[in-house]
Amino acid sequence: MTELAQRRPGRPPKTSREQILDAAGLFEASQLQLTTLAQTLGISVKTVYYYFPNRRALLDALTERTLQEEGEVDLARCTRPRDVLEEVGRWAYRVGRTQPGWFFETAAPRGAALRLMTSYLDRMTALGVPDEAALAAFSVVGNYALASGETAHRTEALGGLATGNVHAHLDGYIDAPTVERITPLMAGTDLDSWFERGLSAVLTGIEKELLPQKRKGRR
């Protein structure tokens, strides 16, 4: 039994561990406190402590559960370095979308990312990419994808990018003429498709600047 799954001694409460995790998943990381969570569930905070000794343990458990639900990233089927990086990017995007703000606050996603890095480096080596270039590409794609996932989550939480909502996202941050200029470009945008277009551009740049290029005339 892992440390996260260990319970305190005593009579088990009626509220289950999974129910607490389900409720915790509705909070932003910055807003999640054990007392607030208990109030939301209508239970004593002691019940939360029965399963999770502190806030960090709760966040780690919730993020670990989400990552398990996402499943392992299968890199063995990738035949090009670009394919490997696409899989890594989409994984990081899902993490940012489902657990915004938690990647740098909890141990679980960092641990999963480091485990993924091992299989990633092995696959890139098999495809002829030196570790230095592979690691640089991993950092670029991971940071872009994670930030995009968190942005998509927060944008949807504010109502998405329907025309009437774009002003709400921009007003007060930039001047009115720029708001009017940007609004038609953003309105109605599908956030997942936006990420994919950006990922394609990032990967094209990585292929050009970081990955080994085949010499002309070689087959």
Q: Tens digit of pLDDT for each residue in 38-49?
A: 999 999 999 999
- Topology at the third CATH level for domain 3-67: Arc Repressor Mutant, subunit A (1.10.10)
Is the pLDDT assigned to residue 205 strictly greater than 90? Answer: yes
Could you state, in order of their start, the residue ranges of all structural domains in the chain?
3-67, 72-209
Residue 154 and residue 148: Cα distance in Å, rounded?
A: 10
Q: Count CA within 13 A, CB hemisphere, residue 72.
A: 10
Stated pTM of the model: 0.71
**Is the CATH number of domain 72-209 1.20.272?**
no
Tell me whether domains 3-67 and 72-209 share a fold. no
Give pLDDT tens digits for 89-116: 999 898 888 877 766 666 556 677 778 8
What is the DSSP track for 26-95?
A: TS-GGG--HHHHHHHHTS-HHHHHHH-SSHHHHHHHHHHHHHHHH-----TT--SHHHHHHHHHHHHHHH
Q: 106: alpha, beta or left, given left = phi > 0 and alpha = psi -120 to 50?
A: beta
